[in-house]
Amino acid sequence: MRVLTTGLLVWLATTCAAQADIYVSRSADGAYEITNVRRPGRHYEKVISEPTVAAVAPSSEPQMIAQMPYAKMVAAAATANDLPPALLHAVIQTESHYNADARSAKGAMGLMQLMPGTAREMGVIDALDPAANIQGGARYLKRLMVLFNNNISLAVAAYNAGPDAVLSRGRIIPPFAETQRYVPSVLRQYRRLQGLAVDAPL
């Protein structure tokens, strides 16, 4: 009973998925019985053991986002506006590189580079306040997502160039050099934070 043929062991290893303990018993006429159920009165030898189920490691994507700057503020704004936190982080990274005091030559301010008119429209009093800026930017981005039927590429293009620039061209990404660079940059960051392939559909 202790000695099983090499062929039998190979067969067990290659054909029996280790979903449970596997036993071999030998009948009175010398035939082998392979089973995962032990019956009373029979002698069995365990040949394959069920592996210990390892704890499944949590996805690295939530951990990555949790470690980003302003993670709690972004999470709150994402929840309030039903947006993926990864998308807000991608916009912030591309717009300001997480510099809450960033100002552009055109007058955009803060983490999400809100223009003064957009900030007022979104109810943001101090565009350099990180929490207010993120909330205002998230509200504006959500409005664009609704306007463009949740098409992330078009919403992101409109965030950069303005919705009229996208609508007036038949809902395509405007041919502006800045916007043509901006949209791929945001989408690349978004896919990375979502754990998606670089060419994964959105």
pLDDT in tens, 95-140: 999 999 999 999 999 999 999 999 999 999 999 999 999 999 999 9
pLDDT in tens, 14-69: 444 444 567 566 666 666 666 666 666 666 566 555 544 433 333 455 788 999 99
Whether 68 is in a domain gets the answer yes
**CATH number (domain holding residue 158):** 1.10.530.10
Catalytically active residues are 95
Whether 1 is in a domain gets the answer no
Count of structural domains, the chain:
2
Kindly state whether residues 78 and 170 are assigned to the same domain.
Answer: yes
Q: How far apart are CA 70 and CA 43, in angstroms?
A: 63
Identify the domain containing residue 31 by its residue range.
6-48
The pLDDT of residue 10 is above 60: no
Burial call 146-160: b when 16+ CB within 10 Å, e when fewer? ebbeebbbbbbbbbb
Q: Is 16 helix (H, G, I), strand (E, B) or coil?
A: coil
Q: Cα 180 to chain center, whole Å?
A: 24
Q: How far apart are CA 190 and CA 185, in angstroms?
A: 9
